[in-house]
Amino acid sequence: MVMADQKQIFVSMVFVLLLLVVSSASHHHAVNEAEEEEEADRISSLPGQPKVSFQQFSGYVTVNEAAGRALFYWLTEAVQDPLSKPLVVWLNGGPGCSSVAYGASEEIGPFRINKTASGLYLNKFSWNSVANLLFLETPAGVGFSYSNRSSDLLDTGDIRTAKDSLEFPGWMDESIPPIQAARSISYRRELCRPLCSSAG
């Protein structure tokens, strides 16, 4: 009887150890995937961009797999201490106006286009001096956002924009890269202190 109990304890310990190894391996795989996604979305520099002290990321987030609908985002981190700064999500009005072409390039973004020469220069009034900026191209069909269904381009408006935009934050923990992948979950949650604007 004692031998059977010891064998059962040994089998249980081996099982727990195996679970720990599998769990650790899957966590390591998830961290590696997050690091790969971060690097894939990282912008090292834009053409004609001056040297900057902040990081930038851009990419696509699928908001409707069945339709193949994806929204484009551009994240510019705050110039200093981005972890302590709020996240401003910028949607240009309409809906139907590009947040990258207008919000980022002509309003609150970090760069301006040099009109007399090629290249960019820093916007001294950019909001990324006080916040992290997320420019979201919505609805699909605006700016770089797209849908694989052409009928989606006929069905745009406030309802579609709201539904797709609500899908976007669910992906933030997996798609929008943090400063470092190791801080990804706390980084994104800390950044999500809301700021709202009814302008547009």
Q: Domain segments of the chain: what residues?
A: 42-191
The tens digit of pLDDT for each residue in 17-72 reads: 444 444 444 444 445 676 777 788 888 999 999 999 999 998 888 889 999 999 99
Q: Which residues contact 110 (CB under 8 A, 6 or more apart)?
A: 52, 54, 56, 76, 104, 122, 123, 126, 128, 133
pLDDT confidence of residue 39: 82
Q: What do you get for the CA distance between the two ends of the chain, in Å?
A: 77
Tokens of 117: 């020469």
The tens digit of pLDDT for each residue in 105-138 reads: 999 999 999 888 789 999 999 999 998 898 888 8
The tens digit of pLDDT for each residue in 185-196 reads: 233 334 444 444
Nearest to 178 by CA among 189, 194, 165, 167: 189
pLDDT confidence of residue 31: 52
pTM: 0.70
Look at residue 158 and tell me whether its pLDDT is greater than 80: yes
pLDDT confidence of residue 83: 82
pLDDT confidence of residue 92: 85
């202190």: which residue's tokens? Answer: 193
pLDDT confidence of residue 120: 94
CATH annotation of 42-191:
3.40.50.1820
